[in-house]
Amino acid sequence: MPTKHERWRVPPSNTAALSREVMSFPAHLLLALCVVSQVFGAVPQSASTFAGSTVSAVFPPPNATDTSVSTYFPNPEEVGFPGPTPTGDEPWVLATAPAAPKKEDVYPLVNPAGTQTSLKKPSFNPMRYWGNLSPWWSQQGSWGLPDASAVVPSGCELTQVHLLHRHGARYPTSGSAPSAFAAKIHAAATSTGFSASGPLEFLNTWTYKLGAELLTPFGREQLFDLGIAFRVKYGHLLKSFSDLPVFRTTSEARMVDSALHFAAGFFGVQQYQSSYHQLIGIEENGFYNSLAPWNACPNANNEVAYLGVDAHSNWTQVYLKDTVQRLQKHLKGLELDATSVSAMQSLCAYETVALGYSAFCDLFTEDDWRGFEYGLDLEYWYSYGPGNPASAAQGIGYAQELLARLTQTPIDDFSTVLNRTLDDNNVTFPLHQPVYVDASHDTVITNILVALNFTSMAASGPLPVDHIPKKHSYIASQITPFATNLVGQVMSCSASSKSNDKQTFIRFLLNDGVVPLTGLAHCAANKNGLCAMDSFAKGLKERITEIDFKYDCFANYTAPWPDPIIDGRMKH
């Protein structure tokens, strides 16, 4: 039985005969066929029966592990002879360099901006319009403080840092749009059949090569690189530790992998396992976890949570109307709709971050990508951001933990999403670390940004659901891309230019961009985004108090529509 690849090849024994037949074919008939082909176009190729099928690979190969040969491969300690190993001083680039480093590359991915011919501007980068599926880039100046830098301000000394980051690039979640589109393709290929031509011709032999949920190789790279960058920026703070640090993540595989790759980058591959403690909080129904809070908030799992999902779905019918018709011309035997075409855009993003390149990317114009991004902006605003009435309540747990760490005060209120077993223990929840690192999900980080009341992201107000406004401040690809990172910098600064007295300040950077803290009471406008620690702690405590966790998460209410909410709370 020939394999699927063999069915597309000419048998070697017939190649010579086939060549002789072509060479002896009357020249005038060959010319006529060429003319017909030019006039009527090439005959559309029928799709293979394997089109849309799922292809996967497993490594290491099954049964490849053979412990009996392990004596042939001793570990470095057993081998010895490591050579000279003196360590250097810790880096501190944000205090020693005249400018902050910038994250701009996506190597080794092939950026669609360099391969597409359908874009109006050569400078337009589709990858920056993939919403939460975009890789992260530095967003210096994006949050309302264009002149602020990640470099520690003159007269200040960094004393503590708090990192909250998302996992790296992953495969689609189970049962999501990309796999549904693949199933649609395969069902047609194995029943009535279809044929694709022109820009869609690749669908005739396309297979679905994506897994589910796990980090992709590029996702692993993102977190390893983030760990290295964090060491270069903040390594000097390790000098202030008297014990090993505790970093936190959740139990899903991609979360654990992200945390470990970050640690390997931050501490070093041979050192990380003995350099810190990795706390893994259970992410599952019935467990409390500030880094996966939806399990403790019923209104995060019902109609209230679908406000943005529905807005996104409706928007696809608007911006993809003409695109569906344009692509349908190249497809016979299979009907496209807005849902299918939106899934094809998602496949561009997912295949690129998983496989390095995607033919789907070449199908779409600049307007298509702007529409795609805006759909995700709508989803995150109304389902997980400032426009959702249960959003602040889900982020309140991290806000409580942040306040406890900043003030070195044990938490005394466990009526929210907090895990009392872990957070009421100074071993699993230490309060005196110079460096804190927590890993979470995109939707949780947007919840937390709302709970912290970072209002500059909501400055333009609720997003219209039927058109893209000329200016809007809530852009998912900037706020919560793969490996997004929120950094709280605590620093000691001179009280004034004429005084040697020191005062403690805090500020936050989201993807290297300084975030104004004026949404919190008692934090005044500051060109560097700084807020006095006493004022910040007072304002954060008041913000936590005003969030009604019990009502927002448990009350039986109907969210208003049109939805005017901008602070993630249900007024009552």
**What amino acid positions are annotated as catalytic residues?**
167
Please, which residues have CB within 8 angstroms of residue 24's CB and are 6 or more apart in sequence?
A: none
Buried b (16+ CB within 10 A) or exposed e, 81-98: eeeeeeeeeeebbbeeee
Beta 277-281 vs 513-515: how paired, if at all? unpaired
User: E strands of 282-351, at which residues?
Assistant: 331-332
- Give the other-Cβ count within 10 Å of 375's Cβ: 25
Pick the closest to residue 570 from 551, 556, 545 (CA basis). 551
Looking at the DSSP bridge assignments, the partners of residue 250 are 281
Residue appearing with tokens 């880096």: 91
Looking at the DSSP bridge assignments, the partners of residue 279 are 248
Query: Do the beta carbons of residue 214 and residue 170 sit within 8 Å?
Result: yes
Residue appearing with tokens 């805006």: 374
Pairwise CA distance, residues 545 & 549, whole Å: 9
Q: What is the CB-side half-sphere exposure of residue 215 using CA atoms within 13 A?
A: 26
Query: Do the beta carbons of residue 389 and residue 552 sit within 8 Å?
Result: yes
The CA-to-CA distance between both ends of the chain, in Å, stands at 69
Which residue type does 272 have?
Y
Buried b (16+ CB within 10 A) or exposed e, 113-140: beebebbeeeebbbbbbbbbbbbbbbbb
For the chain, the 3-state helix, strand and coil shares in percent, each to the nearest 5, are 45, 10, 45
Give the SS3 label for residue 196.
strand
